[in-house]
Amino acid sequence: MDASTALNSYLRGFNHSHDEWPAEAPYDPSLAWWAALPWSSDRATSWTMITEAMPQLRLPQQAGISQSELYRQLVLRGVAPPEAMLIPSSGIFKQPEELQLRLVEHPYAAMPVLSTSNREDFLWLVRALAHRAEPVAIEAGVHAQAISGLIHWGMIRCLGPGQRASLILLHEAPYGSVPSKDLPINLNSHEWIQASYTLRLEHELTHLTTKQVLGEMRLNLLDELIADAMGHLMALGQFSALVFDRCLEQRWRAYVAELNEEEAQWVLDLTRDRAQELEVALSPWQGATPVRKQLLPWLCRLRLDQAIEKLAPHPQANSE
């Protein structure tokens, strides 16, 4: 088929994929703030500290709130209004006991992670932190949100006005909204939920890594294939083209919005072909603990329009 400018741009791969990767990411001083929270021993105090640092969590979620004087005072200036104007920190969530906080280690994208199994609570977090408390519609298939550039007054007060926070939000639900009974793997519902958490987390960390190291985090099916490959290895012990395809069914169009229908279908076919090849190419990693420093640079050099003809580098001792 004749390639349009949009299609050529879509298929180009990562611009700096062949550059040498750094030995490790620069130290992020903001992680110390999260590490100091007494989450395991005193969740109530920790949550008070979080809402004081990110007061947008206590704003009523209504249209136009991000343009209001209340938002400007509370979020942009860090000035606390009368308590009556805010939602009590103890009344934000439907199931506060389900909220979990983890500080996840990663050589390129170490990150605090807030997760919950309650869908309404997850949506509240996403709207509060990613959409400035606006009541935007969020698609049913969205179960994760990586956020950067987040206004965080705890860090601003400790580290200076230029400091911003990063955070991953996760909803503990079946990956791709696909129930375990519809997958070609032998996992029950509980096991699939657990695997989905690991898969989804590694998926988001991989996106953040391409942003950190390569300067790009794109809505592109190559990015989805790479992120899912890492997620499958961490969660399932191997990459499955069938599982990848099944979990992509409800969300693939979100990643081809700039292409016309013929181009979008062709790119989807290319992605499925690469997934089949990648399952073979990743066979040396079956059952091995993925070492991101070894595997991610190789994965990020792939292209959708080029067949995968070589095996991935064999896993070596974990130096992470």
pLDDT digits (tens, 9 = 90+) for 38-66: 999 999 999 999 999 999 999 999 999 99
Same domain for 92 and 149:
yes
Is residue 225 within 8 A of residue 11, CB to CB? The reply is: no
Same domain for 266 and 139:
no
Q: What's this model's pTM, rounded to 2 decimal places?
A: 0.91
pLDDT in tens, 226-270: 999 999 999 999 999 999 999 999 899 999 999 999 999 999 999
180 part of a folded domain: no
Range of the domain at 272: 1-16+192-320
Same domain for 155 and 34:
yes
pLDDT in tens, 146-192: 998 899 999 999 989 888 999 999 999 999 999 999 999 999 999 99
Same domain for 210 and 310:
yes
Number of domains present in the structure of the chain: 2
Same domain for 267 and 141:
no
Burial of 166 (0-12, 13-18, 19+ CB in 10 A): buried
38 part of a folded domain: yes
pLDDT at 84 > cutoff 70? yes
Q: Which residues contact 76 (CB under 8 A, 6 or more apart)?
A: 151
DSSP letters, 8-67, are HHHTS--TTTTSPPPSSPPP-TTHHHHHTS-TTT-HHHHHHHHHHHSGGGGS---TTGGG
Could you tell me which of 299, 255, 295, 250 has the C-alpha nearest to residue 275?
299
pLDDT of residue 318: 64
Same domain for 158 and 280:
no
179 part of a folded domain: no
Confidence of residue 1 (pLDDT cuts 50, 70, 90): low
182 part of a folded domain: no
Same domain for 146 and 37:
yes
DSSP 3-state assignment of 273?
Answer: helix
Same domain for 137 and 113:
yes
Same domain for 58 and 7:
no
Last residue of a domain, one of 139, 173, 207: 173
pLDDT at 2 > cutoff 80? no
Tokens representing residue 45 in the block: 């105090």
Same domain for 315 and 218:
yes
Average pLDDT across the chain, whole number: 94
Could you tell me which of 281, 151, 156 has the C-alpha nearest to residue 225?
281
pLDDT at 317 > cutoff 70? no
Q: What is the DSSP pairing of strand 165-171 with strand 111-116?
A: parallel
Q: Could you give phi then psi for residue 147, rounded to 5 degrees?
A: -125, 135
List Cα–Cα distances, 316 to 86, 205, 285, 319, in angstroms. 53, 21, 10, 9
Same domain for 72 and 111:
yes
